[in-house]
């Protein structure tokens, strides 16, 4: 048995070392591997497989370390390296600092010692910022961007299938995907391998934006794109989350406005929505039945309001919201039937963690991201512009849905948003050359195709003209 374990450990170590060297030599594979695995390992709790870390976090650190090792080797060999910081880069760095350094400093200034969960909470935005930088750096050709988009669509399609099976009770991931502490978001809903129906809704909505742009632009193979779009729609309905349904609607509106295809998309999506509603009908009916209770609102909504009113708002009183309370937004529950209480409001999260400075930092970041996506959409028509449209749709979802949940840092959805933003801000892929103007309409004359303009120049004027 000991020999067998040693052999397995040796093979595992060799495989990890080989992957490290491979990614160091071919950095773009860091993007491919993370995109392909995130929907399926992002929901595994911290510490369940790896001490102190989620597997998705450990994978990101591993891939980033491999990329940086490759950069160091190439720098030693004399390869020139250039790093250019843009307005969007500075906005992301400031947002990360205001959500980590500032709240810790404010706790120390008040004589309070941060807990371990406070320190772990400050890592989240830096991890997302690093993910943005990774995809902005390693993807360097149009073909690589296209592969990233297709990996995203295929993995989103598989996630949608798992979400549909989960919501209908056909298959529910267990084992390592069993949540240690449930936030109640998966009761009868499609949380799949992200272990949160809200996170699945965000991920599928952002991927749906990419698929919609591909559909509108006639990207081949159209049947495959249409099939993935349908799976995303059904999966979004299968989450049973109103926020996911709202996000899908926002995505459709943003894509239609960006592409100038409002009527065309409406014609496609009405029958698709009807078919999806029929497939996910039981889940939709169960969610709508919540409004038939004695108080006219679903129990989850009433519980959310009670948590905010009874626990979080009093702690934000006496102007504590001005400079923030603490980095960790999860508080212990006084009841015996639950362990913790989550802060279920994105905008209150900003004031809880960093007060007005963090909220203003988020607004500056959102302004910089909207500006960047607008510029890219106006200048490009390649896959980076597809990422820009999807990023813009995701950003609108964040701005609107953060009223009810903190979608910016939500696992799965937050990762995908910063991935798309990194691809949008990519400065390594050159802009495509402008398409040549189509030649003037031509006609055949004596077996030779001649344009009318050329004929007019060569034909002498008729008499009397």
- Model pLDDT, residue 304: 86
Q: What is d(CA 60, CA 314) in angstroms, rounded to the nearest whole number?
A: 38
Q: What is d(CA 166, CA 189) in angstroms, rounded to the nearest whole number?
A: 7
Give CA separation, 102 vs 95, 179, 345, in Å.
10, 31, 21
Q: What is d(CA 73, CA 253) in angstroms, rounded to the nearest whole number?
A: 46
Q: Which residues of 264-298 are buried (b: 16+ CB within 10 A; e: fewer)?
A: ebeebbeeebeebeebbeebbeebeebeeeeeeeb
- Model pLDDT, residue 176: 84
Tens of pLDDT, residue by residue over 140-182, are 999 999 999 999 999 999 999 999 888 888 888 877 887 765 5
Give 241's DSSP letter: -
Residue 66, pLDDT > 90, answer yes
**Residue keyed to tokens 């040693």:** 6
Mean pLDDT value across residues 91-101: 97
Helix (H, G, I), strand (E, B) or coil at 297: coil
Mean pLDDT value across residues 375-396: 96
Mean pLDDT value across residues 432-452: 52
Cβ atoms 287, 280 nearer than 8 A: no
For the chain, how big is the Rg over CA atoms in Å?
26
Tens of pLDDT, residue by residue over 194-252, are 989 999 999 999 999 999 999 999 899 999 999 999 899 989 988 888 889 899 999 99
Cβ atoms 41, 193 nearer than 8 A: yes
pLDDT band at 20 (very low <50, low <70, confident <90, very high): very high
User: In the chain, what is the straight-line distance between the N-terminal and C-terminal CA atoms, in Å?
Assistant: 103
Cβ atoms 136, 427 nearer than 8 A: yes
Cβ atoms 372, 385 nearer than 8 A: no
Structure tokens at 200: 């699945």
pLDDT band at 427 (very low <50, low <70, confident <90, very high): confident
At residue 196, what are phi and psi to the nearest 5 degrees? -160, 120
Mean pLDDT of the chain: 87
């Amino acid at each position: 048995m000991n020999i067998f374990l040693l052999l397995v450990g040796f093979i595992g170590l060799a495989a990890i070392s080989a992957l490290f060297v491979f990614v160091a030599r071919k950095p773009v594979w860091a993007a491919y591997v993370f995109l392909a695995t995130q929907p399926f390992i992002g929901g595994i709790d911290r510490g369940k497989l790896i001490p102190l870390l989620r597997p998705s976090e450990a994978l990101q650190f591993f891939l980033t370390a491999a990329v940086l090792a490759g950069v160091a080797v190439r720098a030693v060999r004399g390869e020139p390296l250039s790093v250019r910081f843009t307005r969007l880069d500075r906005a992301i760095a400031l947002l990360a600092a205001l959500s980590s350094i500032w709240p810790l400093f404010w706790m120390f200034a008040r004589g309070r010692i941060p807990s371990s969960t406070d320190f772990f909470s400050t890592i989240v935005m830096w991890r997302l910022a690093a993910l943005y930088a990774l995809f902005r750096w390693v993807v360097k050709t149009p073909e690589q961007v296209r592969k990233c988009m297709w990996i995203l669509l295929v993995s989103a399609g598989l996630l949608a299938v798992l979400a549909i099976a989960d919501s209908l009770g056909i298959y529910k991931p267990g084992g390592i995907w069993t949540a240690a502490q449930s936030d109640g978001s998966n009761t009868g809903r499609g949380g799949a391998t992200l272990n949160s129906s809200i996170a699945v809704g965000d991920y599928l909505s952002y991927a749906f934006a990419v698929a919609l742009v591909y559909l509108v632009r006639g990207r081949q193979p159209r049947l495959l794109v249409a099939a993935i779009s349908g799976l995303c729609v059904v999966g979004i309905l299968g989450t049973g989350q109103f926020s996911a349904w709202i996000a899908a609607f926002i995505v459709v509106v943003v894509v239609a406005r960006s592409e100038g295809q409002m009527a065309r998309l409406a014609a496609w999506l009405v029958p698709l929505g009807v078919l999806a509603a029929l497939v996910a009908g039981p889940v939709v009916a169960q969610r709508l039945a919540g409004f038939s209770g004695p108080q006219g609102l679903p129990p989850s909504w009433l519980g959310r309001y009670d948590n905010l009113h009874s626990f979080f708002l009093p702690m934000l009183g006496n102007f504590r919201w001005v400079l923030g309370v603490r980095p960790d937004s999860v508080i212990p529950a006084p009841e015996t039937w639950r362990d913790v209480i989550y802060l279920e409001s994105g905008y209150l999260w900003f004031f809880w963690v960093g007060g007005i400075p963090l909220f203003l930092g988020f607004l500056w970041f959102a302004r910089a991201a909207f500006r960047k996506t607008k510029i890219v959409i106006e200048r490009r028509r390649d896959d980076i512009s597809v990422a820009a449209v999807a990023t813009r749709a995701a950003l609108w979802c964040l701005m609107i849905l953060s009223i009810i949940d903190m979608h910016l840092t939500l696992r799965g959805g937050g990762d995908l948003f910063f991935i798309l933003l990194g691809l949008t801000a990519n400065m390594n892929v050159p802009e495509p050359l402008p398409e040549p103007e189509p030649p003037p309409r031509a006609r055949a004359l004596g077996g030779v195709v001649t344009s009318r303009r050329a004929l007019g120049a060569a034909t002498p004027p008729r008499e009397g003209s």
